[in-house]
Amino acid sequence: MEKKIKLLLLHGPNLNMLGQRKPEVYGVESLKDIEARLAAAALAHGVELSCFQSNSEGEIISRIHQARDNEDGLIVNAGAYSHTSLAIRDALECCERPFVEVHISNIYAREPFRHHSMISALAAGVICGCGTQGYLFALERLVRILS
């Protein structure tokens, strides 16, 4: 029997507030809704999915370190840390696992300070502006890469 693919869905700061404010930018789904929908899609693909959200840069980095031993790939929405965190970039490099970067909104249609991501150059793919459907695209892409 083939080994099950294990993926981590990782969310950064303020994304625990999804569905509570700014529906015109981020939609109406809560983080729990997104995680449940992705877990159902993962199950349909025979993938094991773990979910993690933190508002703390250090906790995010520690979870990325754990992914090196526990997961085969990552779906990462690092929130505002995408634009600022060299430390998260370095953690993803140390992790040596393919990851797809997801942004719910189109960061290029927003303020200039959102146009650059510290982690995009390391990503196996980058999806933005597709709303929460972007997470499904990322899952499908990682399944293809890892199969």
Residues that bind ligand CA2 (CB under 6 A): 14-15, 17-18, 20-22, 26, 77, 79-80, 82, 103-105, 107, 114
- Closest CB 43 distance from ligand CA2, rounded Å: 24
Catalytic residue, chosen from 11, 81, 103, 135, is 103
Residue 26: active-site member:
yes
Q: Which pair of structure tokens corresponds to residue 8?
A: 């981590």
Q: How far is residue 118's CA from residue 46's CA, in Å, rounded to a whole number?
A: 31
Q: How far is residue 22's CA from residue 83's CA, in Å, rounded to a whole number?
A: 20
- Closest CB 98 distance from ligand CA2, rounded Å: 19
Asked if residue 138 lies in contact with residue 37, where contact means CB atoms within 8 angstroms, the answer is no
Residue nearer to ligand CA2 on the CB measure, 124 or 146 = 124
Residue 11: active-site member:
no
Q: 49 has which bridge partners? A: 7
Residue nearer to ligand CA2 on the CB measure, 10 or 18 = 18
Residue nearer to ligand CA2 on the CB measure, 36 or 109 = 109
Strands (E), the chain: 5-11, 47-53, 73-77, 99-103, 125-128
- Closest CB 47 distance from ligand CA2, rounded Å: 22
Asked if residue 126 lies in contact with residue 98, where contact means CB atoms within 8 angstroms, the answer is no
Enzyme catalytic residues? 26, 103
